[in-house]
Chains A and B, each alone.
Chain A
Amino acid sequence: MEGFEKFKKENFDVCILDVMMPYKDGFTLAKEIREKNESIPIIFLTAKTMKEDVLKGYKAGADDYLHKPFDSEVLLAKLKAILQRKASNNLADSKQYEFQIGNFHLNSKLRFLKYKDEEPNKLSPKENELLRLLALHENDLMPRELALTKIWRDDNYFTSRSMDVYIAKLRKYLKRDDTVEILNIHGEGFRLVVKTDSEKSNSK
């Protein structure tokens, strides 16, 4: 059965396509797959090394390109990175707008951060988006580059420093609740930690 027929019959998380195939090459197959599913990651395997072919591959919708012979561990690392990126992007595109963060309640549509029954604080747009992303990744890593590309639309030194300032602002809001903490994961990103009551008593 040809690749596209299999693709149509089942749901896949990733496609790995050989470029050099008889009659229908991997580029054509990738275009057909893209028409049916815009977001599925595609990796090309090829013996071709010409720049034009690599560019053609990316134009056809490739997420990555591996030249044969390749190290299988490299393919594995690429697959893991691509799936991680896809999972983070899916999370960032989530439609969830309300979060309970310890004793805080975040309504990110209204940009309100409320502590217990007190009057809510109105967050700035960036504070709000950043806290929402952290809440979507609660107790997990929120990759630095994800926040920079989703909120600042650019991943460079200056936007990175700007994000650190916003993290400091959020820490200031959240410091009233000692079950909530934003940890810096060096070189990776941030983690919004919300401790349960038992974790809180154990840490004392």
Chain B
Amino acid sequence: METANKKILLVEDDPNFGIVLKDYLSMNDFDVVLAIWRASKSSRRRILTSVSWT
């Protein structure tokens, strides 16, 4: 199966893991677009706030 130029969307919230996986897949001829999905500062604050309520 020819994988060259096959384009992958990789959505991860862990940038380290995402980059390692992207590199591995790129080494295997995939074209990878990595979307790092992190909570914004304000949303992190909201998460912490909601945690402190419980």
Task: Kindly list chain A residues whose C-beta atoms are within 8 Å of the C-beta of B6.
Answer: 13-14, 79, 83
Which chain B residue lies CB-closest to A81?
A: B1
Name the B residues within 8 Å of A61 (CB-CB). Answer: none
Residue of A nearest to B28 (CB): A76
Given contacts A11-B7, A12-B9, A80-B3, contact A22 B39 (CB under 8 A): yes
- Per the CB 8 Å criterion, the residue count for chain B at the interface is 24
Chain A contact residues: helix, strand, loop or mixed: mixed
Let me know if A26 is at the binding interface, CB within 8 A.
yes
Scan residues 10-54 of chain B and give those whose CB is less than 8 A from a CB of chain A.
10-14, 21, 24-25, 28, 30, 33, 35, 37-39, 43-44, 47
In chain A between 35 and 51, which residues have their CB closer than 8 angstroms to a CB of chain B? Answer: 45
**Cα separation A1 to B36 with both chains bound (whole Å):** 8
Do A84 and B43 form a contact, CB below 8 Å, given A12-B33, A15-B9, A20-B13?
no
A21 at the B interface (CB under 8 A): yes
Chain A residues with CB under 8 Å of B35's CB are 1-3, 6
**How many interface residues does chain A have, given as a range?**
20 to 34
Which residues of the partner chain B approach A83 to less than 8 Å between Cβ atoms?
Answer: 1, 3, 6
Please state if A10 and B7 are interface contacts (CB–CB under 8 Å).
yes
Chain B residue with the shortest CB-CB distance to A69:
B17
Q: Smallest CB-CB separation from A6: which chain B residue? A: B35
Q: Does any Cβ of B come within 8 Å of A18's Cβ? A: yes
Going nearest first, the 10 A-B pairs with the smallest beta carbon separation are A3-B11, A22-B39, A3-B35, A13-B6, A12-B9, A84-B1, A21-B13, A15-B9, A21-B37, A80-B1
